[in-house]
Amino acid sequence: MSQRLQGKVALVTAAGQGIGRAIAETFINEGAKVVATDVAEEKVHDLKAAKRVKLDVRAQDGVDAMARMVASEFGALDILMNCAGYVHDGSVLVCSDKDWDFSFDLNVKSMHRTIKAFLPAMLDKKSGSIVNISSAVSSIRGVPNRYVYGATKAAVIGLTKAVAADFIKQGIRCNAICPGTIESPSLEERIATASRETGRSADAVRQSFVDRQPMGRLGTAQEVAALALFLASDEASYITGQAHLVDGGMAM
């Protein structure tokens, strides 16, 4: 560990498990003061973060209150790491209005909320790195049964580019990370659900996820965290408005 984030203040959403947790742990190990948030507060209790807080990124009042709390205790964020998300399974034919609205609210509007709440203090400081988790399944590539998920993750890329363009002259960088299929509790839940619904074994379902990765394996949350660390750090000071793949060749 080289303390690449020494002295920086970072907020990580959905830090309780999977990619969000790996990123929070990496940031902590690299010297950042991390505010670790999750809608399930108990999932962040064991993180060695500067603060561990419940946050529902779908609630504007809660996000705004969090921004005020962070400003009073830590000052302006150096890093905003948006990790909250949800994977809906199915095509347009099985995507209800409720599915569509929930997916966009959690996957996209949550980032609108956090950026709008935390950006003003970053602008006052004239520096800040915003990193949003998108996906290789987005405007980059379409895959079966990821209709609204792919639409939301494409929107995250558009949101990222818009924020980067608007504030590039004011010291703000905004980038997106686009993972392929990553080992995580979320993936395990999707495998179990698909197994129940199709009658296929969990091993067979898992292999179908592996088979769509050209490298022949799933990615790890730590591999995504390594890219997040780079984009959050000053090493990436000349990089903004880009969608960065960490996908095992999935988008080739």
Each residue's pLDDT tens digit, 10-36: 999 999 999 999 999 999 999 999 999
pLDDT for position 114: 98
Task: Determine the average pLDDT of the residues in 204-208.
Answer: 93
Assess if residue 125 is contained within a domain: yes
Q: Is 149 a catalytic residue?
A: yes
List Cβ neighbours of 24 (8 Å cut-off, separation of 6 or more).
12, 15, 34, 36, 44, 47, 49, 81
Task: Determine the average pLDDT of the residues in 104-109.
Answer: 98
Structural domain boundaries, residue 166:
9-181+220-246
Assess if residue 252 is contained within a domain: no
Assess if residue 202 is contained within a domain: no
Assess if residue 58 is contained within a domain: yes
Compute the distance between CA of residue 197 and CA of residue 128 in angstroms, rounded to an integer.
44
Q: What is the CATH number of the domain that holds 110?
A: 3.40.50.720
pLDDT at 1 over 80: no
Judge whether 9 and 66 are in contact, CB under 8 Å. no
- Single out the catalytic residue among 86, 147, 149, 238: 149
Assess if residue 197 is contained within a domain: no
pLDDT band, very low/low/confident/very high, at 129 (cuts 50, 70, 90): very high
Total domain count, the chain: 1
Assess if residue 187 is contained within a domain: no
Q: Which residue has the higher pLDDT, 103 or 189?
A: 103
